[in-house]
Structure 1
Amino acid sequence: MSRIGKRPVELPNGVTAKIDNGTLTVKGPKGELSMSTSDLIDYSIEDGQISVQPANKTTAARQFWGMQRTLVSNLVEGVTDGFQKVLNITGVGYRAQAQGKSLKLQLGFSHDVDLTVPEGLEVKTPDQTTIEISGIDKQKVGQFAAEVREWRKPEPYKGKGVRYRGEFIFRKEGKKK
């Protein structure tokens, strides 16, 4: 039995959900999200809750159970509160600037890195060394944050690079004379 899958997902006030033709759609104050449903899982909406149960007793159905419940929970959380990732930039001359639907990064290369912000995401730079990525889709927010971080991962000697807020970088000592 899945401990996560057993718990139903509560629908807050102002959030509605419906299932049509193998698609679960959730509407809320921040927008609308949908996901395709799995044949191995039964979804039911009743009494302001979405419950997820395996359709049969197969191992595959039980394996999908907890993950599908978490995906449904992410849809509900996204349309009510949204998701946010904050990146910090460390290094001399490293900076970021949000310009409309693009993000300009200066990360020590001979050229600037220009990234196009995906549809549905909002990128802000409160200062030159902080990037705030927010949106209603958890997967899109995390993927874009990972793409930004991929350009200059934090290195272990001086800690220069792009890191998530709160991320610990294991530091190495370096050469000794």
Structure 2
Amino acid sequence: MSRIGKRPIPIPDKVTITIEGQSVSVKGPKGQLSRVLVPEVTAEQESDTLHVKRINESRVARQRHGLSRTLVANMVEGVSQGFQKRLEIQGVGYRAQVQGKNLILNVGYSHPVTIEPPDGIQIAVENNTNVVVSGIDKEIVGNIAASIRAVRPPEPYKGKGIRYSGEFVRRKVGKAGKK
């Protein structure tokens, strides 16, 4: 049995779950998410917990069991608390600002880079160099944060670029001058 898949998902107060066949809808104070589970697993609700069970012991069912449980648990956590990713911008003259909902990045190119977040994603900028991406869907929050980082990933010589908060960038020495 999958160690992750067999763990029950606790359902917090103010969160309601609706199961219709393979479709699972989660509604909470921050919003609503829904997902269609793969046919190899089923979801069952018992009072204040939710269990994701596989229908047989096939290889595919075993592979998808833990994944499906984690996806449903992320939906429950997202509508109750939400997710956020923090990014740091390092480099002389590198800065970010929010214009309406869009993020404007000035990171050493000849033009500013504009990133438009999808619905349900909020982008905030703290003191021009810290960007916070938040929302209720963990997958979308992570993808938007990765696309912001991909605009100017950190380089190994001076460490300039956009990195996740707490990310360690391994530095290189570079060339030594002529003696």
Specify the TM-score bucket, using the shorter chain as the normaliser.
over 0.9
Deviation at 1:101, TM superposition (A): 1.4
Find out whether 1:86 has 2:86 as its counterpart. Answer: yes
Q: Which amino acid aligns with 1:37?
A: L
Structure 1: 4+ residue segments shifted above 6 A: none
Q: Kindly, what percent of the aligned residue pairs are identical?
A: 50
Aligned counterparts of 2:65 and 2:20: Cα–Cα separation in 1:
20
TM-score (norm 1): 0.98
Query: Which structure 2 segments of 5+ residues have no match?
Result: none
In structure 2, the partner of 1:101 is 101
Aligned counterparts of 1:60 and 1:114: Cα–Cα separation in 2:
41
Cα deviation, 1:49-91, whole Å, max 9, x if unaligned, reads 1101111110100110001000011000000110000000000
Q: Which amino acid aligns with 1:152?
A: R
Aligned-residue RMSD, C-alpha:
0.8
Find out whether 1:141 has 2:141 as its counterpart. Answer: yes
Aligned-partner SS, 1:167: coil
Query: Which structure 1 segments of 5+ residues have no match?
Result: none
Aligned counterparts of 1:45 and 1:39: Cα–Cα separation in 2:
17
In structure 2, the partner of 1:152 is 152
Find out whether 1:63 has 2:63 as its counterpart. Answer: yes
Deviation at 1:21, TM superposition (A): 4.5
Aligned counterparts of 2:148 and 2:93: Cα–Cα separation in 1:
17
In structure 2, the partner of 1:50 is 50
Aligned-partner SS, 1:5: coil
Q: Which amino acid aligns with 1:90?
A: Q
